[in-house]
Amino acid sequence: MSQNADRIAVIVGVGQVNDRPAHPSEGLDSLGLMEAALRAADADAGGGWLPSLDSVAVINQISFPDLGDVSRPLAERLGAHPKLAYITPGPNGDSPILLLNEAANRIAAGEIKIAAVVGGEALRTAAQRAAEAAGNDPSAHNVQRARAAKRWSAYRLRYGLGAPVDVYPLYENAGRAAYGQSLAEAQAESGQIWSLFSKVAAENPGAWIKKPATPDEIIEPSPQNRPIAFPYNKLMVANSSVNQGAGFLVASLAEARARGVPEGRLIYVGRGAAAHEDADILNRDRYDRTPAMEVTIRRALELNQVTADNFDLVELYSCFPCVPKMARRVLGWPADRPATVFGGLTFGGGPIGNYMSHAVVSMVLQLRERGKKGFLYANGGHATHNHAIVLGREPFPAGTLPHDFDFQAEADAAREPIPPLAEDYTGPARIETYTVFYARDGEPTFGTVVARTPQGARFLAKVPASDHAGIAFLTSGEIEPVGTPGEAFAGPDGDILWRRP
């Protein structure tokens, strides 16, 4: 049965921009990056689309918070008068795929014909301007740290679990133990995946860093690759110190044909799936997997009647190695094939919530040149938000949109009971997962252990930097710390401390 071309969503234009001003005062702000990206997408689509936009959807930005909701101001700059202009609630990494799915659904429902999705972050310029005004270093102006201090409980923050770079190592270390890997084996997998990312970025004109790195260069600490949160070094974490914007135009197939877009440049939007974990990482069932991720990926495959073998191109979100490690195991994607089309958040660039817009841009450009299908998996928050979708050069046989992409109930049903918190617990316990934090000189500041009581309650404890044997136990790889017993006791300053028996 033929489908109605008015109700089929295709991506018609993509655009992205890197801004490297000679001086911070000359740099574009987030709104300027968004405008530049959509003008590039318009040119890619043949021009003349922007005044006809029915929807302008924007990924929230944090670089210039005073800008507020930029969706209407952006539309005005573009000469558009859309019936819909909105911004995502937060700057989450799943936002571009969420907005793509929403645009495709609205086209399929006949509500709109042309939609724009865009985001931009100028964190590098914002930090440089703030440092110039304060007379200090840009590293002193960490927006993510400032946001974390306002969002999370004093209990979490006391034990160092604020920003994403503090939290994702908990999944890395728990995952390594669950996979039965040694520390060396797990680091080798991270190095292999990240080295492939660096090679993709080196060939991508839109990437921020175009210097290939070997696996050893990625996993070995050095003055240029300092340890940050065990077992992650600088070259293993998202690089948010960028000025990047990216966006794309989605239209009905009928509109694209009417405007003369060549068939070979059209990329069809398949069905998507989404599910989420609790926002607070202490309210998770475990740290070696995420039911929301698993449901999201598997449902996206089922909805589009595909398997990993059908994909020529894949983008697995890569803020930290644990995410593509978990995702590739669900998807069935081998570690020796690139899991990115853009270059990953370390090398391609990590513009907070908008990375996946760059992935969409790269996916579209590459699908036009080779292959038939591509898979996009997005992650946001602290392994919290998940959204996946499939793109292709041909219409998908699974039926027309719109469809309900929310599979939250299924993810909730798959989740194990959440352990209660026992914040002041002392006594015997076992390590559930852990990390160690480092100063800029590479010296450890303290370790954080997530532990479980004999009754199954969860609590946090510290390993002070002065406990050299304790820090070595957590980081040496000689014995797997996850699952090992120990003892929690009250420290002199009120912190709960951890030691081996």
The predicted-structure confidence for 298-349, as pLDDT tens digits, reads as follows 999 999 999 999 999 999 999 999 999 999 999 999 999 999 999 999 999 9
Residues 58 and 354: their CA atoms lie apart, in Å, by: 9
- Give the dihedral of Cα atoms 473, 474, 475, 481; nearest 10 deg: 90
Distances (CA, A) of 62 to 105, 126, 167, 352, 482: 28, 10, 20, 8, 35
Closest listed residue to residue 286, CA positions, set 59, 458, 50, 477: 458
Cα atoms found within 13 Å of the Cα of residue 440, Cβ hemisphere only: 2
Contacts with 352 (C-beta within 8 Å, 6 or more apart), sequence order: 61, 62, 63, 91, 93, 121, 123, 144, 240
Give the start-to-end residue ranges of the domains of the chain. Answer: 5-124+240-414, 427-499
Please give the CATH topology (third level) of the domain spanning 427-499.
OB fold (Dihydrolipoamide Acetyltransferase, E2P) (2.40.50)
Which residue type occupies 296?
Answer: T
Q: Which two tokens stand for residue 251?
A: 């239209």
Torsion, Cα of 210, 31, 389, 105 (10° steps) = -160
CA 439, 442, 443, 444 torsion-angle sign: positive
Please give the order of strands across the beta sheet that includes 385-392: 84-87, 55-58, 114-122, 243-252, 9-18, 267-276, 385-392, 373-380, 313-316
Q: What is the pLDDT of residue 273?
A: 97
41-52: pLDDT as tens digits: 999 999 999 999
> Structure tokens of 237?
């974490």
Regarding the domain delimited by 5-124+240-414, which CATH topology (the fold level of the hierarchy) does it fall under? Peroxisomal Thiolase; Chain A, domain 1 (3.40.47)
In this structure, is the dihedral angle defined by the CA atoms of residues 346, 349, 354 and 356, taken in order, positive or negative?
negative
Residue 137 is given by DSSP the state: -
Paired with 380 in beta bridges are 385
* pLDDT computed for residue 322 by the predictor: 98
Tens digit of each residue's pLDDT (9 = 90 or more) over 104-156: 999 999 999 999 999 999 999 999 998 888 888 777 666 665 666 667 689 99
Please report the pLDDT score of residue 501 as a whole number.
80
Tokens representing 390 are 């499939």
Q: CB-based burial of residue 362 (10 Å sphere; 0-12 exposed, 13-18 middle, 19+ buried)? A: buried
Q: Give the model's pLDDT for residue 355.
A: 98
pLDDT score for 135: 81
Query: Could you give the CA distance from residue 193 to residue 180 in angstroms, rounded to a whole number?
Result: 18
Q: Within 10 Å of residue 334's Cβ, how many Cβ atoms?
A: 9
- The model's pTM: 0.96
Instruction: For residue 260, count CB atoms less than 10 angstroms from its CB and return exposed for 0-12, middle for 13-18, buried for 19 or more.
Output: exposed
Residue matched to tokens 């999370």:
152
Q: Do residues 407 and 275 make contact, with C-beta atoms less than 8 angstroms apart?
A: yes
**Calpha distance 323→163 (Å, rounded):** 16
CA dist 126 to 40, 67, 157, Å?
23, 12, 25
Q: What is the pLDDT along the chain (501 residues), one digit of tens a residue?
A: 357 899 999 999 999 999 999 999 999 999 999 999 999 999 999 999 999 999 999 999 999 999 999 999 999 999 999 999 999 999 999 999 999 999 999 999 999 999 999 999 999 999 999 888 888 877 766 666 566 666 768 999 999 999 999 999 999 999 999 999 999 999 999 999 999 999 999 999 999 999 999 999 999 999 999 999 999 999 999 999 999 999 999 999 999 999 999 999 999 999 999 999 999 999 999 999 999 999 999 999 999 999 999 999 999 999 999 999 999 999 999 999 999 999 999 999 999 999 999 999 999 999 999 999 999 999 999 999 999 999 999 998 755 578 899 999 999 999 999 999 999 999 999 999 999 999 999 999 999 999 999 999 999 999 999 999 999 999 999 999 999 999 999 999 999 999 998
Which residues, including other chains, have CB under 8 Å from residue 22's CB and lie 6 or more apart?
Answer: none
Residue whose token pair is 């304060």: 134
Bridge partners of 470, per DSSP, are: none
Please enumerate in sequence order all residues whose Cβ is within 8 A of that of 384, keeping only pairs 6 or more positions apart, or say none: 92, 276, 277, 278, 279, 292
Give the separation between CA 458 and CA 456, rounded to whole angstroms: 7
